[in-house]
Each structure stands twice: as C-alpha cells, then as structure tokens.
Amino acid sequence: MRITRSDESNSSILPKVILVPFPEEKYRTLVEMLGYQTEESLTFPDYRKIFVNAVYLFLKGAWSLDELSAMANTLWGSKEEKFDEFGSALYECAELNFYVRNIYNPSSPDFRGQFDEFMITTIKFYEKYFSDVVNAHN
C-alpha cells in the first residue's frame, strides 16, 4: 500500500510517501485459521469475518495498525459496494495509518479528529460483529 500526501504542509518534517506492505503471511495465516481453503471461494460474510478477526488481532497486539489498515485497504479495493456498512468500516480502517501520522498537522486541523472518528467506526463495526471472532478468549 502506497499513500502519497496530496498537500505540501509540513513537507520538511512529514514524509511525502508512506509505504505499507500488505501483511501477506499474517493474512494467509488468518484465512487458514478461519478454515478457508481458497481466496476465490470467499463470500461477503467470509470477508467480514476476516476483517473482524483482524481487528481483534490488532486490539490484542498481534497485528500493527499499518497491517490492519493495509489489509482493510485491499479488501475495500476489491469490494463492489464501497460505502455500505462494511465498505465504510473498511475504508475508514484503511485510512487510519494515514491519519495517525497526521494527528498534529497545523495546516490541516481537520485531521485532528479524523483518526478518532475512523477508529471508533472500526471498533463499532468490530463490536457489532464480535460473534464472528474465533478464539476470542485466547
């Protein structure tokens, strides 16, 4: 995942490009843990289950915010309905790794609350579909 800043604010202290690799190994491990054999056979509820379990692993400390955001970005990009409930949760989660790096940006004060808002959306979606979490008590 490559995030390019569109503004020139704080250009001397903030990187212009953020490179976040997709967590391929962790994603494959998660898909296998959930009992899925091939990516091609996954359905909408399967992707939701993958996402909710990835959020759980993030909250548990097993996935970083960058890994969670990169995975959400990939799932969002492959989704046809971009802004239904699930699409919005994926989109906002995918943006977290940008906004966490821009919480303090004097030229863009709107960024200050965006991280909180997007994290809350992610957590509320996770909370709503918590029953999809496998091994939640480990």
Q: What is the pLDDT of residues 60-89, one digit of tens each?
A: 999 999 999 999 999 998 887 888 999 999
pLDDT reported for residue 137? 64
Amino acid 30: pLDDT: 95
Domain parsing of the chain, residue ranges: 2-132
Burial label, 16 (beta-carbon count in 10 A; 0-12, 13-18, 19+): exposed
Q: What is the pLDDT of residues 5-26, one digit of tens each?
A: 555 554 557 777 788 899 999 9
Distance CA 75, CA 82 (A): 10
Q: What is the pLDDT of residue 94?
A: 95
Burial (CB < 10 A; 0-12, 13-18, 19+), residue 13, is: exposed
